[in-house]
Amino acid sequence: MNIRILIGLICFVFSSVASAEILVIVNKNNPISSMSKQEIIYIYTGRLMAFSNGEQAQPIDLYDGSQEKATFYKITTGKRLSQINSYWAKLSFTGRLKPPLALETQQAAVEYVVNNANAIAYIDEKYLTDDVKVVFRLDS
């Protein structure tokens, strides 16, 4: 009986992890239809603040306590949040670059993308609406 409960718990945990797919979204009017992981990394690390068509990209982040943020950076860059924060501390205090604007909720991120043609954000797929376009799915 105990083993069944344990197996059930394991299945539940893994099924919730699998369902928590993270999507990278852009404004519906953005002509970009898909992006590579490398392009997303470059935009979110400030190396190249543009989409592949040359249009400026405005990346949107989530607040530090967000699990989606930790997962997004771990999967894309391989870095922990402390490493990402350290990386951005290096760049932002040079006065040359600003880190992505961090919003408190994923709904706010979706809303920001809807209202800003150059915005790009990442969200849990449960927050996806028809008003935005998915350009990348993170394999967790």
Partner 1 sequence: MIRMNKFIKLAIATCIIFSHSSNLYARDKLDIKGFLTIAGYHSSNDNLGFQPHLSSSDVGYKGDDEYLTLSKVGLQLNYQLSTQFELVGQIVAQKEVVVDNSDRIKIATLNYSPTSSLLFRIGRFAPRTYLLSDSRLIGYSNNEVIPNHDFYAQLPLSYVNGADLTYNFGLSDGVGTASIFTGRTEVNINATDGNTLNSKFKNLLGFNLEYQTNNWLYRFGYTQSQLANSWEQVDTAIQFLTLVSQDYPSPLVSWTEGKEFVEAYRVKDKWFRYKTLAVQYDNSIWRVRAEIGDLAADSSNIPKNKNAYVSFSRTFDQFTPFLTLSAIKTSSPRTFSKPDEGLVQFLSAQSNQNLAFGLQQVFQFAETSAYNQKSISLGVRYDFALRQDIKLQFERKHVEAIGSNLWVVKDFSKIKDEYVSLIMFSYDRVF
> Could you give the residue ranges of the DSSP H alpha helices within 1-140?
2-19, 37-44, 67-77, 81-92, 106-115
* 42 scored as a contact of partner 1 (CB under 8 A): yes
Q: How far is the CB of 4 from partner 1 (least distance, A)?
A: 33
Q: How many chain residues touch partner 1 (CB under 8 A)?
A: 33
- Nearest C-alpha neighbor of 44 from the set 82, 1, 2, 101: 101
Residue closer to partner 1 by CB (options 77, 128) is: 77
| 18, 94, 130, 139: residue in contact with partner 1 (rule CB under 8 A) | 94
Q: How far is the CB of 130 from partner 1 (least distance, A)?
A: 26
* 75 scored as a contact of partner 1 (CB under 8 A): no
Q: Buried b / exposed e across 42-60, counting CB within 10 Å, b at 16+?
A: bbbbbeebebeeeeebbbb
Stated as kind and residue range, the H or E segment containing 135 is strand 132-138
Stretch that binds partner 1, among 4-12, 15-23, 52-60, 132-140 (CB under 8 A): 52-60
* 53 scored as a contact of partner 1 (CB under 8 A): no
Q: In what order do the strands lie in the sheet with 58-62?
A: 101-103, 58-62, 119-124, 22-27, 132-138
Site residues for partner 1 per CB under 8 A: 38, 42, 47-50, 54-57, 63-64, 77-83, 85-87, 89-96, 98, 101-102
